[in-house]
Structure 1
Amino acid sequence: MNIDIFAEHFSELEDPRQAAKVVYPLFDVVFLTLCAVIAGCEGWEDIEDFGENRFDWLQEHGFFKLGLPVHDTIARVMSLLDSEALQRCFASWMQACTELTDGLVVAIDGKTLRGSYNREDRCSSIHMVSAFASANGVVMGQVKTDEKSNEITAIPQLLNLLELKGCLVSLDAMGCQKEIAQQIVDKKADYLLTVKGNQGQLHDAVTQVFAGKVHKDSAAQSLEKNPGRLEYREFQVCDASELPEKLKAAWPALTTLGMATTYRVEKHKRAVLEQRYFISSADLNAERLSQAVREHWCIENQLHWVLDVSLSEDACQIYRGNAAANLATMRHFGLNMLRAEKRKMSIRRKQRQALMNEAYLDAVLEAGMSVVIK
């Protein structure tokens, strides 16, 4: 395992402590936190306990030559550490060890950390916006929204961190903004945006296009059957030239309009018919639209759900300073590395293996330095 690779991407981090009082190097504390998160540790005492039980292993890799910090020191360092700088380090690491392919779907969506509510000054829970490569479940970057803002301001910050050339960037209705679409096009990528009532004129126009005629020659259907549930999906596309010219010209490089119709029947519930609309700068057929929309929702069940169930993110009660945002970034680091290690095990089981087996932890760290997204 080449620790220098990690050190290189963490080099931007500035130690928030007074230089004369530093006993434990910043990178040592950050690396310990990362390894502990990989091994399933959730709090500061857990991280200290992990360090004590893996102290010889840490020293073999050149860390903590003067001993191990207590949990209060670990908490103080991670609370003071600049969360934006750590997020830039994460994005830098992902760009260095990934290979993007044309057409890769990058889903962008936000998640609130429920346990990060500040009990002292009644501040709300923090909200993280993440970019997720659905092809193999890898987080490419994340940013924390400002306290008095929302995803609309955070998404441009996240896009600035990412290399997206050739990708198809998908966002829900919150991200359906002309400025965001232009930023994606400027990065030589394509956008796929969900259109709802927050873009009322556009939504009405797209709805009218698909209400005028049925584009059966450009449709894709699927039927999904599960115990107690039946869902039919149909996707249609048409050329954006069917919009009024002034409206089409307002959206950069707009090429394709899409509609998804779903009819869902569940046991003991009323049947639900739903129609959703999309715009894209990519030249999509119905099959590709269907695939991209399904891949967008992978961010919910392959990232947000896993963070809560396997990594207990919502249950984490840490909130002081930058600690909640920094631990969220560490969980993304750890999840990427666990998924890069290709043995057929659940994330929870991989965490237990990393906790009990030093050789397996080495294997996870080694795999994490060579993540490839295709």
Structure 2
Amino acid sequence: MRQASSLQHAALAGVDPGGGHVRHGDGGRKHRDRVSHWAQDAPQDLLARLGCRRDPFTGLRRPPSERTLRRVLAQIDGDELDRRTCTYLAETGDAGELPADTGMVAAGQRDQVIAEELRVGGGCEREARRVRRRARERPRPAGMLEAAAADGKTVRGAGHGESPAPQLLSLPHHRRGVVLGQRRIGGKTNEVPELTPLLSDALTGSDVAVITADALHTARESARRIAEEFGRYYVLVLKDNQPTVLAAAQARLMEGTDADHERNGTGYTDLDRGHGRLERRTIRTAPADGLGFPHAAQIFRIVRHVAKLDGTGSSMEVAYGITNAPAEVAGPIHLNTHVHEHWSVENREHYVRDRTFREDECQARTGQLPHVLATLRNLATGAFRQNGHVNIAHARRHYTRVPYRLLGLFIL
């Protein structure tokens, strides 16, 4: 297994290990596995640090072949690899996170600090500057508890014939963007029963106090376990799988106006401008007494209006939810932020894996390969984010071009 370490670092460099060809959409042309190319180009001292064996005849370190890499990965226990990599990321913490803006840094020096911390190639990431500026202009509400989002994803390229594509349930941290845990969903079950073992693995020693999830996980047993077994708060979306609770929430939250709710401390309106659009999110909350849902304390409704900057192309969405967090712990502004950050996971995790790492185009199918490769992509993204990178594609190029840079991400 010593040879697998070189694969791990190659994956962190952003190359895509795989059990087969990877289709890149350029006229249907297929490219060979790039992990072995990275290993073949690695210098001798780097191969030595990665544990590659020495050829007894030439005296040179020989990197593992593509076939060896593929065989080793296909035999790895994906769930155990998830536990090890997620524990590693949790223990390293936010080592590369930029210092918080406490007012001690002069306004004219802020971009210079960012450039020094996140210098990539000839300059710093533009997105990093943008994120820091937005954090100053729109800070997170005071008293926000750390949260993680339970969300499933299908590895579409790994399905073939009558064999369905594998599904993975993961738990990304809202603020840090690091996956705290991941499990493969069995072929004869779904995400719901896998939530408990996922939380058992991911929440040990974690700072997460709130679990957010979509309507699939809005089940009484899941809510009870989150509250009783794990001692966490849940924020769950209400849909037709809980028709009685949904109908009661709709009736209670119809009363009064948005202005009335804001005056009473049970409402909040958030206006945002960015990414070429205007967004207005209005939330109302009400007590969840008598609904019969385990440990429920509040119900809420969020109305989201989105339009282009010129006011055209407007749309509206309405979502209902339920939580066991009391109003003094999670008020309207906190619940609005938790729900908003839950859906941002789609961009920070799923979009990155699909677009930057082209996960859905990778046709690795043998054994544990689809699961293991997804884990390595999570590890790569997490390591980049831990070191303050915002643009994952930019970070990939940065670490791929100079192999020695990879060593700065890990303790070897």
Question: What is the TM-score of this pair, normalised by structure 2?
Answer: 0.74
Is the CA contact (8 Å cut-off) linking 2:156 and 2:360 kept in structure 1?
Answer: yes
Match of 1:106 in 2: 148
Match of 1:351 in 2: 396
* Mapped partners of 2:277, 2:398: distance in 1: 36
Query: What SS is found at the alignment partner of 1:135?
Result: coil
* Mapped partners of 1:69, 1:30: distance in 2: 9
Give yes or no for the alignment of 1:258 onto 2:300.
yes
Aligned length: 331
Give yes or no for the alignment of 1:85 onto 2:90.
no
Query: What SS is found at the alignment partner of 2:359?
Result: coil
Give yes or no for the alignment of 1:140 onto 2:194.
no
Aligned pairs for 1:182-201 within 5 A: 182-185=224-227, 186-201=229-244
Q: CA deviation at 1:360?
A: 1.8
Is the CA contact (8 Å cut-off) linking 2:11 and 2:17 kept in structure 1?
Answer: no
* Mapped partners of 1:62, 1:359: distance in 2: 11
Q: CA deviation at 1:219?
A: 1.0
The match for 2:11 among 14, 37, 49 is: 37
* Mapped partners of 2:177, 2:90: distance in 1: 15
The match for 2:192 among 129, 136, 152 is: 152
Give yes or no for the alignment of 1:211 onto 2:254.
yes
Match of 2:70 in 1: 75
Query: What SS is found at the alignment partner of 1:64?
Result: coil
Post-superposition Cα deviations, 1:222-247, rounded to whole Å, max 9, x if no partner, equal 23345874432101112222xxx2x3
Aligned pairs for 1:20-35 within 5 A: 26=1, 28-35=2-9
Q: CA deviation at 1:135?
A: 0.9
Task: After superposing the two structures, state which structure 1 stretch, 41-50 or 174-183, moved more.
Answer: 41-50
Q: CA deviation at 1:358?
A: 3.1
1:336/1:238 CA distance change after superposition, 3 Å: same
Query: What SS is found at the alignment partner of 1:297?
Result: helix
* Mapped partners of 1:348, 1:324: distance in 2: 21
Q: CA deviation at 1:64?
A: 1.3
Task: After superposing the two structures, state which structure 1 stretch, 356-365 or 166-175, moved more.
Answer: 356-365
The match for 2:163 among 120, 123, 147 is: 123
1:123/1:166 CA distance change after superposition, 3 Å: closer
Post-superposition Cα deviations, 1:147-174, rounded to whole Å, max 9, x if no partner, equal 1322112222211212256511100001
Q: CA deviation at 1:277?
A: 0.9
Match of 1:231 in 2: 279
Q: CA deviation at 1:273?
A: 3.0
Q: CA deviation at 1:213?
A: 3.5
Question: What is the TM-score of this pair, normalised by structure 1?
Answer: 0.81
Which residues of structure 2 form unaligned runs of 5+? Answer: 19-32, 55-61, 95-142
* Mapped partners of 1:33, 1:62: distance in 2: 9
Aligned pairs for 1:268-347 within 5 A: 271-283=314-326, 284-342=330-388, 346-347=391-392
Match of 1:361 in 2: 406
Give the fraction of aligned pairs with identical amino acids, expressed as a percent.
23
Post-superposition Cα deviations, 1:324-361, rounded to whole Å, max 9, x if no partner, equal 0011011111111111223x562222212212213321
Is the CA contact (8 Å cut-off) linking 1:87 and 1:143 kept in structure 2?
Answer: yes
1:358/1:270 CA distance change after superposition, 3 Å: closer
- 1:39 maps to amino acid: A
Task: After superposing the two structures, state which structure 1 stretch, 173-182 or 48-57, moved more.
Answer: 48-57
1:345/1:240 CA distance change after superposition, 3 Å: closer
Is the CA contact (8 Å cut-off) linking 2:86 and 2:179 kept in structure 1?
Answer: no
Q: CA deviation at 1:115?
A: 0.8
Give yes or no for the alignment of 1:60 onto 2:45.
no
* Mapped partners of 2:333, 2:144: distance in 1: 17
Q: CA deviation at 1:74?
A: 1.2
Post-superposition Cα deviations, 1:238-284, rounded to whole Å, max 9, x if no partner, equal 2222xxx2x33x41x22121110122345898643332111111122
Post-superposition Cα deviations, 1:276-315, rounded to whole Å, max 9, x if no partner, equal 1111111221111111111111211111111112111112
1:165/1:183 CA distance change after superposition, 3 Å: farther
Is the CA contact (8 Å cut-off) linking 1:235 and 1:286 kept in structure 2?
Answer: yes
